[in-house]
Chains A and B, each alone.
Chain A
Amino acid sequence: MNRMSVLVLGIMACFLTSWVGLAVTPYYQLGQLLPDTDDATGEQAPPGFSGRAEQGRAVYAANGCVSCHTQQVRFEGVPATGGPDIEREWGERSTVARDYLRDTAAYVGSQRVGPDLANIGSRKSPDSYKYTTAWHYQHLYQPQVVTPGSAMPPMRFLFEKRKIAGQRSHEAVKVEGEDAKCLHSDEEIVPTEQARQLVAYLQSLKRSSYPLPEVPTAPAATE
């Protein structure tokens, strides 16, 4: 191994294998997928994002929500159609590459300090207030009040405090607890444009609300 040329070429060759395998192959195998068209209705899956939701994606990225939230649902078991993610109702099926087709960037994530958000837009709760736009605003503004003990940082900087001019804004955040005491009776908290975009993005995250041929739907969810 005393020849520099052999050494350099060997290193390049080793590197090249994984470069081809894990950078170039995904480009061809996953980077050129097409949406699935429903023959009957002509609808395409996955659906696209609205312009506002797309701007919300940038807010999501800028504030590092991915440090605590994943956007991927995992199947396991034999056959692989169940598992804790499904039982938690984080999705009706596991996410596959095609589910990210319409994203500018996919934040699949690697930490689950909080729940998975792949399907936060279609999440249901017996409490009819939960997961509404107003709930999202309040949760982003004061997560510890909405979910006591939450580790989620309040995103105060996505909101504005302002004097109520005439009528209360219909978007005004429902502020409760300690935070309400700091608020004068003639003041209100309203979302900034960024908060609106972010919530629009969250509400359009419905990554398994449509079927794709390459992945079965969990039996529990279809019954």
Chain B
Amino acid sequence: MSVIVTEEEPVSSASGVTPAAVGEAATLIQSNAAEVAAIDRSVRLPVLLFFGAGLIWLLGGSLLHLLAAIKMHEPRLLSSVAFLTYGRLWPAANDALLYGWLSTAGLGLALWLAARLCRARLRHEGLLTVAWAVWNAGVLLGVLGVLGGNSTSFEWLEFPWYAAVVLLGAYAFISVWMLLMFRARREGNTYASLWYLLAALLCFPWLYATANFFLLFLPVQASAQAPVNWWFVHGFYGLWLTPLALAAAYYLVPKVLGRTIHNYPLAVLGFWSWLLFSGWRGGQSLVDGPVPVWMSSVGIGAAIFTIIPLVAITNNLFGTFRGRGDAWGWSPSLRFTHVGLLCFVAATISGILLAIRSINRVLHFTQMEVAWNYLALYGFVSMILFGAMYYTVPRLAGWDWPSQNFIRYHFWLCLAGLGTIIFALAMAGIVQGYGLRDPGVPVISTVQMINPLLVTRTCGVLLLGAGHLVFAASFVLVLIRARGGQPVTASDVVGGRRRAPAVATEEIQPTSATVEHAVG
């Protein structure tokens, strides 16, 4: 039983432990370590490319976000430059982050997870770089299209149709490799991580193609567009980004701690219920809106029901963490993942609250929704992506992170930035919400009242951006230092630490307990 629930082929966390292991276990571990290293080596190029491109989008998107945030309180700035008008900057920034950062880095993560979980080596990875290039060209086309005045003005689908075609094409290309890996699967069991990964990979193309088809390629009558748009927005978060992030969390938490996941049946329940309810939430954004009442009611209901997967998922993941607070100290990937999961809890609960009709009437249409997006997309998904990158990049590049301090700065800048932004926007949302409900308050007064909070938000965006810069710098340093070095095996990663002394990452701490679990 315990083998089934172990998140991982027993070994990789054993690299620091080998000397302690004896006899059979040691042999098993060594052969497995070599195998894991070979798997990692096969995905090294594409995964690092996806991560690198994702980081460039993260920086670019953050810059666009910063400009948009400034323009909210300085609207006259650069007002004769058409492509920098707020209404183009804001969707371009959001889409750069959604498609450029979260999805691109998410695809890198998916490739690595697929290889690890299927214990399959990636072949023809050179060709995959073509798909990588096409994907990024698609995002670039989209962002430039929006800035250039070709925005569709559909929420999260602002990319013009030609960019959507390129993205879908690139995705189809990439999924061939995924398929090949799943075909070559040499692992009998499927782990929770793999379920989520499969869900994300299957839902994304269906979701994105349907939405683009119904809204752009062959548009349905406008009266039917709003529900499709909101179905897509909630699906993109709930059926693409969330499963990717949870796949990473379900993989890394047990793995780094050398534990099995807390409760297998709960994991099953959490998975299916999340999948089912997420798809139905679209109506929660159309409460009292121009759609049949059942749609918003079902949306609210589905939102409320996400309490079930929330309890199941967090009980499992936090249960696996229990008693290992020490991991915060030695494992950056767990520190980020842990914060990400806390934000997942906060985002899910506040998502439910925001759906409830009486609250929705006050806070929908306000900055509270923007605050929620930051919480869910940055606090949850991005933080988990960072965590996963802290784990994978050294293993793929064969070199450890350059400095413990960089990681610390990254972490605290992100927290400070996010905290400031979410606080400021949530307060702004409440002020705006109650202001708009009182017909005696002119709209312009709500704008003036939230102005100082919008300035505060800009400060938060700056802090967050500084954090991203630090992370990007670490990433580049790892690549520069690793360049020219021989590709290394998993156990060499520990050796890598010797080469670049006094550094960060995981797997110092897990002691013989790991081995027990691993082989047991």
Residues of A that sit less than 8 Å from B by CB: 1-2, 4, 7-8, 10-12, 14-15, 17-19, 21-23, 26-27, 29-33, 60-68, 70, 72, 74-76, 80, 83-84, 87-88, 94-115, 143-144, 147-157
Is there contact, CB below 8 Å, between A76 and B87? no
A selection of 8 A-B contacts at a CB cut-off of 8 Å is: A30-B221, A60-B153, A83-B288, A105-B152, A106-B225, A144-B76, A147-B444, A155-B79
- Is B436 interfacial (CB 8 A cutoff)? yes
Is there contact, CB below 8 Å, between A99 and B290? yes
- Is B501 interfacial (CB 8 A cutoff)? no
Stretch at the interface among B33-41, B272-280, B484-492: B272-280
Could you tell me the distance between the alpha carbons of A63 and B189 in the complex, rounded to whole angstroms? Answer: 51
Is there contact, CB below 8 Å, between A94 and B202? no
Is there contact, CB below 8 Å, between B88 and A154? no
Could you tell me the distance between the alpha carbons of A193 and B361 in the complex, rounded to whole angstroms? Answer: 38
What chain A residues lie within 8 Å of B288 (beta carbons)? 74-76, 80, 83, 94
What chain B residues lie within 8 Å of A96 (beta carbons)? 290
Could you tell me the distance between the alpha carbons of A10 and B228 in the complex, rounded to whole angstroms? Answer: 23
Could you tell me the distance between the alpha carbons of A59 and B447 in the complex, rounded to whole angstroms? Answer: 24
Nearest Cβ distance between residue B344 and chain A, in whole angstroms?
20
- Is B210 interfacial (CB 8 A cutoff)? yes
Is there contact, CB below 8 Å, between A2 and B190? yes
Q: On chain B, which size bracket covers the interface?
A: 35 or more
Given A61-B152, A150-B444, A15 and B239 contact (CB-CB distance below 8 Å): yes
Could you tell me the distance between the alpha carbons of A54 and B257 in the complex, rounded to whole angstroms? Answer: 59
Closest chain B residue to A207, Cβ basis: B290
Closest chain A residue to B231, Cβ basis: A22
- Is B452 interfacial (CB 8 A cutoff)? no
What chain B residues lie within 8 Å of A63 (beta carbons)? 82, 85, 87-88, 149, 151
Is there contact, CB below 8 Å, between B275 and A64? no
Nearest Cβ distance between residue A69 and chain B, in whole angstroms?
9
Interface 1/0s, chain B 273-309, versus A by CB < 8 A? 0011011101101101111100100100000000000
7 more contacts with CB within 8 A, not counting A23-B228, A29-B224, are: A15-B202, A15-B275, A26-B228, A63-B82, A67-B91, A111-B365, A143-B75
Is there contact, CB below 8 Å, between B153 and A66? yes
Is there contact, CB below 8 Å, between A30 and B291? yes
Nearest Cβ distance between residue A180 and chain B, in whole angstroms?
15
Is there contact, CB below 8 Å, between B149 and A23? no
Could you tell me the distance between the alpha carbons of A106 and B286 in the complex, rounded to whole angstroms? Answer: 13
Could you tell me the distance between the alpha carbons of A102 and B222 in the complex, rounded to whole angstroms? Answer: 7
Nearest Cβ distance between residue B206 and chain A, in whole angstroms?
6
Is there contact, CB below 8 Å, between A72 and B86? no
- Residue of B72, B81, B226, B239 near A108 (CB, 8 A) is B226
Is there contact, CB below 8 Å, between A7 and B227? no
Could you tell me the distance between the alpha carbons of A110 and B278 in the complex, rounded to whole angstroms? Answer: 19
Could you tell me the distance between the alpha carbons of A105 and B214 in the complex, rounded to whole angstroms? Answer: 11
What chain A residues lie within 8 Å of B149 (beta carbons)? 62-63
What chain B residues lie within 8 Å of A111 (beta carbons)? 365-366, 369-370
Is there contact, CB below 8 Å, between A31 and B220? yes
Is there contact, CB below 8 Å, between A64 and B85? yes
Given A64-B153, A84-B438, A151-B447, A101 and B279 contact (CB-CB distance below 8 Å): no
376-428 of chain B: CB within 8 A of chain A: none
Interface 1/0s, chain B 191-230, versus A by CB < 8 A? 0000100110011001100110011000111111111101
Could you tell me the distance between the alpha carbons of A11 and B200 in the complex, rounded to whole angstroms? Answer: 9
Interface 1/0s, chain B 177-193, versus A by CB < 8 A? 00000100100111000
Is there contact, CB below 8 Å, between B214 and A106? no
Could you tell me the distance between the alpha carbons of A17 and B272 in the complex, rounded to whole angstroms? Answer: 13
Given A23-B231, A27-B214, A153-B71, A105 and B295 contact (CB-CB distance below 8 Å): no
Could you tell me the distance between the alpha carbons of A87 and B439 in the complex, rounded to whole angstroms? Answer: 6
Closest chain B residue to A105, Cβ basis: B222
Is there contact, CB below 8 Å, between B280 and A149? no
Interface of A is mostly: loop
Is there contact, CB below 8 Å, between B221 and A17? no
Given A61-B152, A108-B226, A68 and B235 contact (CB-CB distance below 8 Å): no
Is there contact, CB below 8 Å, between B153 and A27? no
Is there contact, CB below 8 Å, between A101 and B222? yes
Interface 1/0s, chain B 312-339, versus A by CB < 8 A? 0000000000000000000000000000
Which of A62, A104, A151 has the most C-beta atoms of chain B within 10 angstroms of its own C-beta? A151
Given A10-B272, A61-B152, A106-B226, A15 and B203 contact (CB-CB distance below 8 Å): yes
Is there contact, CB below 8 Å, between A27 and B79? no
What chain A residues lie within 8 Å of B72 (beta carbons)? 113, 151
What chain B residues lie within 8 Å of A104 (beta carbons)? 219, 222
What chain B residues lie within 8 Å of A150 (beta carbons)? 75, 444, 447
Which of A4, A29, A94, A110 has the most C-beta atoms of chain B within 10 angstroms of its own C-beta? A110
Closest chain A residue to B196, Cβ basis: A11
Nearest Cβ distance between residue A110 and chain B, in whole angstroms?
6
Is there contact, CB below 8 Å, between A100 and B154? no
Given A22-B280, A108-B289, A153 and B443 contact (CB-CB distance below 8 Å): no
Could you tell me the distance between the alpha carbons of A121 and B199 in the complex, rounded to whole angstroms? Answer: 46
Nearest Cβ distance between residue A138 and chain B, in whole angstroms?
14
- Is B90 interfacial (CB 8 A cutoff)? yes
What chain A residues lie within 8 Å of B190 (beta carbons)? 1-2, 4, 7
Could you tell me the distance between the alpha carbons of A113 and B435 in the complex, rounded to whole angstroms? Answer: 11
Nearest Cβ distance between residue B456 and chain A, in whole angstroms?
15
Nearest Cβ distance between residue B274 and chain A, in whole angstroms?
9
Is there contact, CB below 8 Å, between B87 and A17? no
What chain A residues lie within 8 Å of B81 (beta carbons)? 157
Could you tell me the distance between the alpha carbons of A95 and B288 in the complex, rounded to whole angstroms? Answer: 9
Could you tell me the distance between the alpha carbons of A30 and B366 in the complex, rounded to whole angstroms? Answer: 27
Is there contact, CB below 8 Å, between A110 and B206? no
Is there contact, CB below 8 Å, between A110 and B285? yes
Is there contact, CB below 8 Å, between A15 and B90? no
What chain A residues lie within 8 Å of B155 (beta carbons)? 66, 110
Could you tell me the distance between the alpha carbons of A72 and B440 in the complex, rounded to whole angstroms? Answer: 20
